[in-house]
Structure 1
């Protein structure tokens, strides 16, 4: 112990003596923190690139995050349509959305804005840092950058349609960045970045489909077709040239699907759209990924208020339910109103798999997970792993039809 103590004393004396010099004992006293990762120290190997991209994908799930009691961010896009209402009165922000008296302080608006810009910020980091990682397989690097550009483009595409002119940020920012508080950019400039990003993603060597749920070529081309179609109309009013661009791009996906019907196609029934077993393939070109191990499906706000439609018994919030006027607007016999088969359900099974009972009103069925909640005589898994569709082949066909009609 004497030798050890003497050793430390000698170090202190040496350091103290060195303090009279210009350098001192800076290196000796400098703390090393190998677990303290920063953007500078993190992006050094290919695994870091994959992890950063995975983080960007994960950020997409902000849409399902909470917006106060009995509500989620995604309801921003639902409540304003006029086709739904709520059975709960506890969330003033949600009620303001339904009453069309929301403003910039409404939780759903704030959360959606912040969520989109977190996706953009994470994508910007990937696009800025990954090119400098060496050694790294060139094809892997190009693919990762292409996926990041698709995710950034999609976030900006949502933002520009919701708010028009929005801040255009394409580089990582810190509090000392010159453009830390950027002004809103004209929509024309935002759409240019969106198109450039999607064109880069299109040439990134992505597979036509990807069963893992990552960005694929069919999703990129369909998104680009949708962007062109949007640009053709108000407010940019690009007209005929962009209707043709939209039709041509959608046709590329349709042509591939016709030649490879087992890879891309429409599902046989509408219910197949909302099965766990059909995720990330056939009609589903791009989905938000959910798994209860990481994050369970966030669409439970569609459940009716305090009715036993799941294994949990009476529950649910009824915070997003169809209006009677909307439900009654469908003609008699319309398959979209067929109970438990289309968009709605008016009956279900007690506690998910028991005796059938009437709900007393129509409720939204399209995100109902039979696998999780149960069905006639079959108990549910209690694990809602259902992904949320973002781009479907059905949309590709509709984009083509609308655009081609204007050419």
Structure 2
């Protein structure tokens, strides 16, 4: 399609596409930004193209600018806006008037003119273009062995599958472009799920179990993504089969068997990234020698407490609805039906200088690795002070994000301050092993097989109950980098479901769905989960009704069934594909 060609400004292009008819040697120069055919059609050239396909994963073309010219957060690969803010995990944050394009996404009043959606579209199609370039180039290189060629093609097809999966879950039907396409004006009337399945299935069958470099995808990452693709299509039989293969035999790219880390927080700490729980993650690096530019997870550069040591910017504030979900009963189990009736005490409307008493009830410790709340250690930055770190409680609530934040002790190495907002070297988890376990549990519950996924859910809950996964008080609150006591920061009580607890498919699914909310909170999954489960209207109505009473950004918000399950096709893309009065791209219903 036209926008892939026009807007793929950083894509390596094969020389010969543009040829000059001028014969004067002074003007006979190679095209800027292009590589010659000789450079491309070598093993090194193909690997360079493949690295380019990986580099598009963060949605940026460099210099803190997204592909197509938007801001980095508009195309953030963790989908914090489109998955978490839209899903009820988080309020937009900051103030009501800052980044207003997010407001309409959060309240489901978004339309096709919203520039954020166009930025996201362009970023994913940039990735598609780069993957296709690899596939075109590798076919012309005879010097690459069959095994290496299968590995290269498998990685490229995995990446293409990922970009298309992101587009599919965001926009529904989208145009499909592959390495054989010559007419880039393509309709979006066909379902592309079979194409995505084919890419991941090829990768699963052809990629090696280990790779020589961290960050390159392996066979088992492809298997997990293939199973996830089956799950999204409600093909539970193939999902269950493939998840079982990944769980029982899978390893990360270094050959380490998949498992859950003892400490939940290890998945969000750059010091412990690429661990045994990492299935597919986007690599990030801080202080990489680029001078005044930060390339360290700029998609989340807004998402640090306001008026804090981080300097910027107060976005992505966890919701009260999410925080309340971490309440546990006397047996250490969650309140699946009425969690908001057991609300976690917070400091909404209370000044930091005023007295505040922490919640004394039972809580799941994952709360305090997910939600920054007053009086609880905020990593090693000190106890969260409450309102002083919140720009506008009235429109965004009392909480701060936490999973994307670096430690004070490593701010000089794993944090990045080379630009106007913070950066973090931690990886962006697209799929981690806990996610795999919970998706596998869902498939088993849907099929009505085995224990309906109970054992998988209990593995996740057992990790949450470990002492290593708890947050502890400081030895000296005035010196938060001085270490921690053995005293938990709150009353953490979390247990596994008893044997035989999942007595029906409906109960099993209710518990599995809730566990995903707890385990994967603030990780960009929530909206896409509730849409595919068919619970979006109910879940969001609960959230809007509860948070909307006190927090103005979602007051009166409403999800419309049959419309808001997908985002509108960006009008800019429809216009690009227009020929006179018609366009090859059809708008989604209701927009």
TM-score of the aligned structures, taking structure 1 as reference length: 0.78
- What's the counterpart of residue 255 of structure 1? 248
What is the correspondence of 1:382-397 to structure 2 with a 5 Å cutoff?
382-383=415-416, 384-397=424-437
Give the one of 27, 49, 52 matched to 1:52: 49
CA apart distance, 1:153: 0.8
**Structure 2 counterpart of 1:304:** 305
The answer to whether the 8 A contact 1:353-1:379 is kept is: no
Find out whether 1:207 has 2:209 as its counterpart.
Answer: yes
Displacement, 1:65? 5.5
**Residue 334 of structure 1 aligns to a residue in which SS?**
coil
1:153–1:197 contact (8 Å) kept in structure 2: yes
RMSD: 3.1
Give the superposition deviation at 1:337: 5.2
Q: 1:359 aligns with which of 386, 396, 410?
A: 386
- Residue 83 of structure 1: which of 62, 86, 89 is its match? 89
SS at 1:132's partner residue? coil
CA contact (8 A) 1:283 1:394 kept: yes
Any idea what SS the aligned residue of 1:296 has?
A: coil
Q: Give the corresponding residue for 2:112.
A: 104
- Give 1:346's match in structure 2, choosing from 367, 371, 374: 374
Any idea what the Cα deviations from partners look like across 1:275-307, whole Å, max 9, x if unmatched? 223322300111111112262123232212222
CA distance in 2, matches of 1:223, 1:70: 25
Equivalent position of 2:169 in the other structure: 161
**1:91/1:32 CA distance change after superposition, 3 Å:** closer
Counterparts of 1:233-382 in structure 2, within 5 Å, are 242-257=235-250, 262-292=256-286, 293=288, 295-298=295-298, 299-308=300-309, 310=310, 315-331=311-327, 332-336=361-365, 338-339=367-368, 341-347=369-375, 356-360=383-387, 361-370=398-407, 374=408, 380-381=412-413, 382=415
Q: Secondary structure at the match of 1:228?
A: helix
Cα 1:180/1:100, change in 2 over 3 Å: same
- 2-structure distance, mates of 1:130, 1:284: 28
What's the CA shift string for 1:240-288, capped at 9, x where partnerless? xx21110110101111159x99531111111111122332230011111
Distance in 1 (alpha carbons) for counterparts of 2:382 and 2:232: 47
Instruction: Encode CA deviations 1:44-63: one digit per residue, 9 max, x unaligned.
Output: 21000100000000011117
Alignment map for 1:129-144 (pairs within 5 Å): 129-144=137-152
CA contact (8 A) 1:346 1:363 kept: no
Pick the aligned partner of 1:198 from 191, 197, 200.
200
What SS does the aligned partner of 1:346 have?
A: coil
How far does the alpha carbon of each residue in 1:304-332 deviate from its partner, in whole angstroms, 9 at most, with x for none? 22223x4xxxx222121122343234314
What is the CA distance between 1:106 and its match in structure 2?
1.4
Higher RCO, 1 vs 2 (CA within 8 Å, ≥6 residues apart): 2
On the 8 A contact 1:96/1:102 being kept in 2, the answer is yes
Computing the radius of gyration from Cα coordinates, the structure with the larger value is: 1
Provide the rounded CA distance (Å) in 1 between the counterparts of 2:242 and 2:71.
42
Q: Tell me if structure 2 keeps the 8 A contact 1:210–1:281.
A: no
Structure 1 position 108, deviation (Å)? 1.8
Higher helix share: 1
Alpha-carbon distance between aligned partners in 1 of 2:129 and 2:402, rounded to the nearest angstrom: 35
- Contact 2:371-2:402 at 8 Å conserved across structures: yes
Q: Which residue of 2 aligns with 1:14?
A: none
How far did 1:154 drift?
1.2
Is the contact made by 2:155 and 2:217 (CA closer than 8 Å) also made in structure 1?
Answer: yes
- Output the CA distance in 2 between the equivalents of 1:156 and 1:70: 20
1:27 and 1:397, CA in 2 relative to 1: closer, same or farther beyond 3 A?
same
Q: 1:337 to 1:284 in 2, by over 3 A?
A: closer
The 1:257–1:135 alpha-carbon spacing in structure 2 relative to 1, beyond 3 Å, is closer
**Structure 1 unaligned spans of 5+:** 1-24, 233-241
Once the 2 structures are TM-superposed, how far is the Cα of residue 205 of structure 1 from its aligned partner? 3.4
Q: Deviations over 1:86-122 (max 9, x none)?
A: 2232222122222322222212211111111111111
Whether the 8 Å contact between 1:209 and 1:281 is mirrored in structure 2 is no
| TM-score calculated relative to the size of structure 2 | 0.55
